[in-house]
Chains A and B, each alone.
Chain A
Amino acid sequence: MTQYVLRRLIHSVFIIWGCATLVFFLLRLIPGDPVIQMLGPEYTPEAAEALRRKLGLDEPLQVQYVRWFGNILRGDLGGSIASGETVTGAIATGLPKTLSLAALSFLIAIVIAVPAGVAAALKRNTIVDYAASVVAFVGVSMPSFWFGIILILVFAVWLGWLPATGYAELTDDGFVEWLRRLILPSLAIGAGYAAILMRFVRAGLLEVLGSDYVRTARAKGARERTVIVRHALRNALIPVVTIAGIQLALLLSGAVVVETVFSIRGIGRILVGAIFDRDYPMVQGVILLVAVIFVLANLVVDIVYTFLDPRIHYG
């Protein structure tokens, strides 16, 4: 077990190193001279030379590469070309928003998916099951950003219940305002995620309900409710944890896109803005960050998984 965790840890370190290398070459792959691209209409030979020196592009490639890693390890991702702030600073202001969004989306997805999946499994092949299945199909096939626009249309424009855009700080504006502004974007992301999870809850529960230990629990006279919650659901949720981890990407990429819809300046909005500004250090920083978060999240899920199900042994 310790050995397994250790091996996964080392693997993750290598993957992150690979990601950083890939992101390093991202800037160097830009067709033509990246400095000319970045300066755009403000190009003068002197400005180009200055920028090239600032980005260290005038040095040999291996020197740049070593410096890139040294900087990353010190938490220095360089400075934004467009705004002058540091990339780490911009990320530090954006990341809490994105993480709040992802966390609330996750919560919403669980709250929808588990009861819906349980209902579909218990009422299998009834109208409840079919309805859940149809809704799940639509949910999986729907772009999160479109659902976000529809939510704005219904809850902000037509009903006027919730604000259409913006973000409120939890610390400054209080929980209610924070939630009011975050609920629609979180629902936009959480819906698709819930659709996927729901199908696995249903399938997992159906499988477990036919097992010996559920029959035993019933035979010894446990109440149906106890059988479902204590015996069946607990085991049915184990594969769901894996799926939840694997589909974390959905939350992250969902956040990136939905932030644009709701004008929330999280890391997704920062990334898209940086691409339009040709602010390559910022683009590099955000992409690297997302990859690292994703790799680490998957690592955590894998490790949690081994604790959840002691039957699983890794050689």
Chain B
Amino acid sequence: MARVVSAPAVEGVSPVGQAGVGPPADLPVGSPSGGSRFWRRLRRERKAFVGLVLIALLAVVAVIGPAVAPHHPDADDFGILEPPSLAHPMGTDSFGRDLFSRMIIGTRVSFSVGIVAAAAALVVGGLLGLLAGYYGRWVDSLISRAIDLLWAFPVIILAVGLVAVFGAGFRNVTLAIAVAYLDDFARIVRAETLGLREQDFTLAARALGATDRRIMGRHILPNMVAPLIVQATFAVGLGILSESTLTFLGLGVNPATPTWGLALNEGRDFVRQAWWISVFPGLAIVLTVMSLNLFGDGLRDALDVKGVAERA
């Protein structure tokens, strides 16, 4: 499955190259904080900016979804398999439910699974990578071999296997996706730690008697925030893709929950009668994952991160 692949930067767009040369002319005098410099770069990175705006819009939909959905997602008193119309912009499904409302509610599920899974993978994978990179020797061997093992299973196969054992449902699906993507974070953090461990500032901190915990927390981790943010952005998108895949296979979150993957599962069965059930949920997934990929890609250019994974 994996995939630590340094994807090619798209040149011509990236202003990052000049970052080291000196402050661009339009910067105010004085030293801008790291945060404001970051926003300045981000705004120039068209891809990241477009991605961010789209993500923000979708996040708003996810949060206020139930309030703005025209109908209750489970209300089934409409015509069955009605094509898109003004009353039902995305048509109705085979139970006579409004597809548009279900897609809106589905946004929340997708984002929840994606974000929680990515966060869990980040924390656990990051911790493993940090310990492996920092302590080296047998700790590294042990953790690295375990990570190699996870890597030997394609993500979807691993997630399917875990769901097969522990059962479907929101918690288990999220957990399975988190485990499947954990090795990416572990690899990145381990590699970064190996480099940072030998830096002068780390050695100085150690010479001054700082504890291991302090060195890791104050000197090593803060220096790898950039690649982790980029990786986490991709991971949320991949998590959403994986969730929809598992749900499509019937191994996802609760079958009563309106989700994009579930709608597609039904769309497959009614592909001859109702094209809209297949088309719209898929477009929702593509739009969401593409926004995250655009943002991650632009962010990678803006932060000048190398060697972050892009994978299946």
Contact = CB atoms under 8 A, between A and B. Distances in A.
Contact of B250 (A19, A143, A153, A272): A272
| Interface range, B side | 35 or more
| Interface range, A side | 35 or more
B3 interface: yes
A149 B280 CA distance: 12
A108 to B, nearest CB: 16
B312 interface: yes
B23 to A, nearest CB: 27
Given A143-B244, A202-B8, A26 B165 contact: yes
Interface in B1-50: 1-5, 7-12
Given A19-B149, A146-B264, A157-B271, A272 B160 contact: yes
B268 A261 contact: yes
Nearest to A149: B278
A31 B286 CA distance: 36
B278 A249 contact: no
Contact of B2 (A16, A18, A249): A249
B168 to A, nearest CB: 9
Interface in A105-164: 124-125, 133, 137-138, 140-143, 145-147, 149-150, 152-153, 157, 164
B153 A125 contact: no
A22 B294 CA distance: 36
B209 to A, nearest CB: 37
B5 A246 contact: yes
B272 interface: yes
A199 B8 contact: yes
Contacts of A26: 161, 164-165
A114 B11 CA distance: 19
A124 B290 CA distance: 22
A30 B152 CA distance: 21
B245 A145 contact: yes
Nearest to B268: A149
A16 B268 CA distance: 36
Interface stretch (A58-66, A80-88, A287-295): A287-295
A257 B152 contact: no
Nearest to B289: A141
Contacts of B272: 157
A125 B10 CA distance: 10
A152 B282 CA distance: 14
A206 B11 contact: yes
A36 interface: no
The 5 closest A-B pairs by CB, nearest first: A203-B8, A250-B312, A146-B282, A249-B154, A141-B290
Interface of B: 1-5, 7-12, 145, 148-149, 152-157, 160-161, 163-167, 237, 241, 244-245, 248-251, 264, 267-268, 271-272, 275, 278-279, 281-282, 285-286, 289-290, 292-294, 310-312
Given A246-B3, A249-B3, 9 more contacts: A18-B152, A23-B161, A142-B282, A203-B8, A249-B2, A253-B157, A254-B312, A261-B268, A290-B154
